[in-house]
Amino acid sequence: MSKLLEVSNLGKRFTIAGGLAGKARTVHAVDDVSFSIAAGETLGLVGESGCGKSTVGKMIVRLLEPSAGNILLDGIDISHLSHRRMRPLRRRVQMIFQDPNGSLDPRQRAQDIVAEPLLVSGMRGAARRRERVADLFEKVGLRPDQMRNVPSKFSGGQRQRLAIARALALNPALIIADEPVSALDVSIQAQVVNLMSDIQREFGLAYLFVAHDLGIVQHISDRVAVMYLGRIVEIGDTARVYQQPSHPYTRTLMDAVPKPDPSRRHRRLKVPRGEVPSPLDPPSGCAFHPRCPAATDICRRERPLLRRVASGAETACHHAD
Amino acid sequence: MHEVTPARPARRRRGVNVFLWLGVSLLAVFALLALFGEVVAPHDPNAQDLFAMLEPPSAAHLLGTDNVGRDILSRIIVGTRYTLSIALASVLFAGIGGVALGAIAGYFGGVTDRVVTGIIDLLLTVPNIVLAIAIASVAGSSATGLTIAITASFIPPLARLVRGRVIELAQEDFVAASITVGMSHTRILLRHILPNAATVIIIELSLNAGQAVLIGSALGFLGLGVQPPAPEWGTMLGASREYLTMAPHLVIAPGIAISLLVLAFNAFGDGLRDVFDPGSSS
């Protein structure tokens, strides 16, 4: 079976200009990332801020140019298509941004925001577009009488619903959701996540759900990929990764998730030691070794590759079994 | 250092915007004079009366007469058309040129940006009155030459302003969102970026209009503008400077006219800024 999206050995390097005398340096924001997403599936992508998870999402919708690797969408290599050649393929993959305050043009009315993809894709007839917009408004739970309002008249949650409606307008097969709820009030987050689940069921959508909130990712994802310093350190079915994390980094992450379990109250949490190293100067070998309780010599020398472990997930750790 | 100012006094934001209304009403008066100057003027602006030269203000000639006995009030009224049309035309053309250059350089970046910014920076090192004098001396002494000169001197700073705003807006997620729905760059610029940059551009242009009046009059004064006997205010100033000690009203009247028009444009620009951009202080 061919996958909807196949990403292989994807990399993104940013060059940082040096000062007057300094030389330019390179940051590997994303390095050798591979995964695939099947139709209708949700892959959660988690990791700390700055680990490169948003960069992966932006490369897939070609807002950023990949420096290495390939992106296959429906089997077509889109990794280096020009802006013009990419345009007809864009209807298959849409994006929801983190902050709806920034992703909606403040001067546009809600109905025009949602109609814009239709207009751009060449849907003729104002009446047909209006009908489709009304339909999308209903799907995301916005009232028809709000259609003429500008974004500032909406609440945060409603704005994100508007952004979801825009992403749905072209009937995409895949939506890249870049931290779609982290800018929202906690009380609203669940509503928006549930809306996304409902829509997924109705349209058979696939999601790449980028987030740092492990609880939300667990709720919505079929599979999870954990990133650390630009690389995937563990990837597998959500239940396996959450219940039997095999990478030490995943274990510390999972440990940080609050659980309603009184017996845990007095246990000390295994929080990773120290700070995330600078991606400008990543550690040798396994990037996690300076913070890892199980690190040995080999971890400092050799970079571990992803391999299948007992839990059924794939892990990049020399010591996992 | 900047003081941390609390929110602007509510009076300004909620109440009547004094600057805006002052600007609008003065400009309305000038616009009417420009349109119907000949009808309103008490005398023919070019009719000489050699028996009434350099007369001080009187009932017959409210602002007196000049060195060949022309009614100064009438000349100022009819002259409004020159000054106002030169200012508006140069602001319009500078607006088109500056916005196009700035938007293209800011949005597309790369080599285009470096070339455009290089030229802009080069031109910005020359004070715009000097630039205008240089261009006026090449373009010829006429209303057209004056307009070209003023336009050219406004384009570099405006292009720079627009470029900065466009670069800022191009970072916004709504631009990224437009790319992901498959919109072309031209459409993104026209539909999303420029409308969001419009207030900055409009405010700048209305302030430029005041500047245009000043530069136009200065060039007229220097003899590089509209040529006599046309009653352009700067030209009138230049022609009457020899009579300054004998008949100061020759200089005072066009001087006040120029100041009022500049004041009108500046008040209008400041008023607009208060309306659109209440947070900024200048």
> What tens digit of pLDDT does each residue of A85-99 get?
998 899 999 999 999
Question: Could you say which of A97, A98, A117 has the minimum Cβ distance to residue B181?
Answer: A117
Quote the CA–CA distance of B7 and B12 in Å, as a whole number.
11
Q: Are B150 and B212 in contact (CB under 8 A)?
A: yes
Q: Which residues of B182-210 are buried (b: 16+ CB within 10 A; e: fewer)?
A: bbeeeebbebbbbebbeebbebbbbbbbb
Quote the CA–CA distance of A276 and A289 in Å, as a whole number.
11
Q: Which two tokens stand for residue B73?
A: 């009030």
Query: pLDDT digits over B155-202, tens only?
Result: 999 999 999 999 999 999 999 999 999 999 999 999 999 999 998 998
Residue B56 domain flag: no
Residue B261 domain flag: yes
**Helix (H), strand (E) at residue A264:** none
Q: How far is A309 from chain B (nearest CA, A)?
A: 37
Residue B53: per-residue pLDDT? 81
Q: What is the DSSP letter of B189?
A: I
Inter-chain contacts counted by CB atoms under 8 A, chains A and B: 64
pLDDT at A192 over 90: yes
pTM over 0.90: no
Q: Which residues of A191-227 are buried (b: 16+ CB within 10 A; e: fewer)?
A: bbbebbeebbeeeebbbbbbbbbbebbbbbbbbbbbb
Residue B10: per-residue pLDDT? 43
Residues in A closer than 8 angstroms to B183, CB to CB, are: 116, 120
Residues in A closer than 8 angstroms to B172, CB to CB, are: 102
Question: Could you say which of B182, B184, B196 has the minimum Cβ distance to residue A91?
Answer: B182
Quote the CA–CA distance of A316 and A307 in Å, as a whole number.
6
Q: How far is B156 from chain A (nearest CA, A)?
A: 28
- Residue B33 belongs to domain with CATH number: 1.10.3720.10
Quote the CA–CA distance of A169 and A114 in Å, as a whole number.
7
| β-strand pairing of A223-228 with A42-46 | parallel
Q: Are A244 and A237 in contact (CB under 8 A)?
A: no
Q: Report the chain B residue with the minimal C-alpha distance to residue A102.
A: B173
Residue A274: per-residue pLDDT? 74
Q: Report the chain A residue with the minimal C-alpha distance to residue B183.
A: A120
Residue A304: per-residue pLDDT? 92
Residues in B closer than 8 angstroms to A105, CB to CB, are: 174, 192, 195-196
Q: Are A79 and A90 in contact (CB under 8 A)?
A: no
Query: pLDDT digits over A212-232, tens only?
Result: 889 999 999 999 999 999 999
Residue A96: per-residue pLDDT? 96
The CA-based angle A80-A83-A84, given to 5 degrees, is 115
pLDDT at A256 over 90: no
Q: Are B233 and B79 in contact (CB under 8 A)?
A: yes
Q: Which two tokens stand for residue B8?
A: 């602007």
| Domain, as residue range, for B99 | 17-39+66-276
Give the residue ranges of chain B where pLDDT is below 50.
Answer: 1, 3-12, 281-282
Tell which of A82, A93, A116, A174 to mutate to test the B interface (max B CBs under 10 Å): A116
Nearest CA to B232 among B210, B209, B254?
B254
Residue B51 domain flag: no
Q: How far is A76 from chain B (nearest CA, A)?
A: 17
Neighbours of A248 (CB within 10 A): 25
Residue type, A206: A
Mean confidence (pLDDT) of chain A: 90
When divided into structural domains, chain B yields a total of 1
Q: How far is A120 from chain B (nearest CA, A)?
A: 6
Burial of B54 (0-12, 13-18, 19+ CB in 10 A): middle
Does a cis peptide bond (omega within 30 degrees of 0) precede residue B229? yes
Residue B267 domain flag: yes
CA A162 from centre of chain: 19
% of chain A residues with pLDDT over 70: 94
Residue B21: partners with Cβ closer than 8 Å, 6 or more residues away: B271
Residue type, A101: N
% of chain A residues with pLDDT over 90: 68
Residues in B closer than 8 angstroms to A90, CB to CB, are: 180-182
Residue B109 domain flag: yes
pLDDT at A173 over 50: yes
Residue A272: per-residue pLDDT? 64
Residue A249: per-residue pLDDT? 92
Residue A265: per-residue pLDDT? 62
Residue A207: per-residue pLDDT? 96
Higher pLDDT, A114 or A23: A114
Mean confidence (pLDDT) of chain B: 86
Residue B54 domain flag: no
Q: Are A166 and A91 in contact (CB under 8 A)?
A: no
Quote the CA–CA distance of B145 and B220 in Å, as a whole number.
11
Residue B8 domain flag: no
Q: Which two tokens stand for residue A141?
A: 């739970």
Residue B77 domain flag: yes
Residue A158: per-residue pLDDT? 94
Quote the CA–CA distance of A3 and B192 in Å, as a whole number.
35
Residue A271: per-residue pLDDT? 64
Q: Are A260 and A248 in contact (CB under 8 A)?
A: no
pLDDT at A1 over 70: no
Query: pLDDT digits over A5-19, tens only?
Result: 999 999 999 988 776
